[in-house]
């Protein structure tokens, strides 16, 4: 289902485009499919949202550029951890949320590719990743706790760990995963969290995604924001 959605996203790709390349298993399917088109002669350039995506794109022969060289991208194709009926997303399960958000918000439009398990009525089933500075992480976490209390949310916060050590993002930061449950006001939560010194970015993507391609056992369903 992930692969089917990824292949369907190729229909938005046109020659000459600069394309944001997402991170994760679904985005990997897209990078592979795009690489096959490049081998057939398609002229595009990619901007990777992580070291892993960069390496995969290089392996599949996709010419790469940077956001500094091409600050206005035509399209970004990326996966998600959750999406709701308002095209709001939770991303960052793979730890690339900061670069993903910078790249997607620099694109004329963002196409999200996902299998149907990612569709939710209300965001919050998936723990919300928050990217934070390594300096003063405990002080930042304490302020985040206050923000959750203010919104009457009972959040459990855990510093992401990999291989017995705190996970460090490509941007050099930590991630705090917040198990919240249903988030009644994602916009308010996002605004409160991003106002905290030390919070770099949240995994809430609001007003960025325009099209969702959802793979189902019966085929790919397309959702388009008005
Ligand atoms: C990485 C992400 C991914 O898009 C998200 O975790 C979905 O991953 P997958 O496609 O492997 O299910 O946000 O930071």
Domains of the chain: 2-119+206-224 (3.40.50.1360), 128-202 (3.30.70.260)
Ligand 1 midpoint to CA 221 (Å): 19
Say how far apart CA 184 and CA 57 lie, in whole Å: 38
Q: Under 8 Å CB-to-CB from 54, ≥6 apart: which residues?
A: 48, 64
pLDDT at 205: 98
Buried b (16+ CB within 10 A) or exposed e, 10-34: eeebeeebbbbbbbbebbbbbbbbb
Instruction: Say yes or no: CB of residue 107 within 6 Å of ligand 1.
Output: no
Parallel, antiparallel, or unpaired for β 174-179 and 199-202? unpaired
Select from 208, 205, 210 the least CA-distant residue to 93. 205
Nearest ligand 1 atom to alpha carbon 97: 14
Model confidence band, residue 226 (pLDDT cutoffs 50, 70, 90): confident
Instruction: Say yes or no: CB of residue 97 within 6 Å of ligand 1.
Output: yes
Ligand 1 midpoint to CA 95 (Å): 8
Question: Which of 6, 26, 115, when mutated, tests ligand 1's pocket best, judged by the most ligand atoms within 8 Å of its CB?
Answer: 26
Tokens representing 36 are 């096959």
Q: Under 8 Å CB-to-CB from 193, ≥6 apart: which residues?
A: 130, 144, 147, 199, 202
Q: Is 42 helix (H, G, I), strand (E, B) or coil?
A: coil
- Please list the active-site residues: 100
pLDDT at 70: 95
Q: pTM higher than 0.85, yes or no?
A: yes
pLDDT at 15: 98
Tokens representing 209 are 């995604």
pLDDT tens sequence across 167-198: 999 999 999 999 999 999 999 999 999 999 99
pLDDT tens sequence across 5-61: 999 999 999 999 999 999 999 999 999 999 999 999 999 999 999 999 999 999 999
pLDDT tens sequence across 118-175: 999 999 999 999 999 999 999 999 999 999 999 999 999 999 999 999 999 999 999 9
Instruction: Say yes or no: CB of residue 94 within 6 Å of ligand 1.
Output: yes
């Amino acid at each position: 289902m992930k692969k089917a959605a990824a292949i369907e996203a190729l229909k938005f790709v046109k020659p000459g485009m600069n394309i944001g390349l997402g991170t994760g298993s679904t985005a990997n399917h897209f990078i592979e499919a795009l690489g096959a088109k490049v081998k057939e002669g398609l002229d595009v350039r990619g901007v990777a949202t992580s070291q892993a995506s960069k390496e995969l794109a290089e392996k599949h022969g996709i010419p790469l550029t940077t956001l500094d060289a091409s600050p206005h991208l035509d399209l970004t194709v990326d996966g998600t951890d959750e999406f709701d009926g308002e095209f709001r997303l939770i991303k960052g399960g793979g730890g690339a949320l900061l670069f993903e958000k910078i790249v997607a918000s620099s694109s004329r439009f963002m196409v999200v590719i996902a299998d149907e398990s990612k569709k939710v009525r209300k965001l919050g089933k998936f723990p919300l990743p928050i990217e934070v500075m390594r300096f003063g992480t405990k002080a930042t976490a304490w302020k985040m706790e206050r923000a959750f209390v203010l919104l009457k949310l009972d959040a459990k916060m855990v510093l992401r760990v990999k291989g017995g050590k705190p996970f460090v993002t490509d941007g050099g930061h930590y991630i705090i995963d917040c198990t919240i449950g249903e988030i009644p006001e994602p916009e308010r939560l996002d605004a409160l969290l991003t106002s905290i010194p030390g919070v770099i970015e949240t995994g809430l993507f609001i007003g960025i995604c325009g099209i969702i391609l959802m793979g189902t056992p019966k085929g790919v369903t397309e959702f388009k924001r008005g």
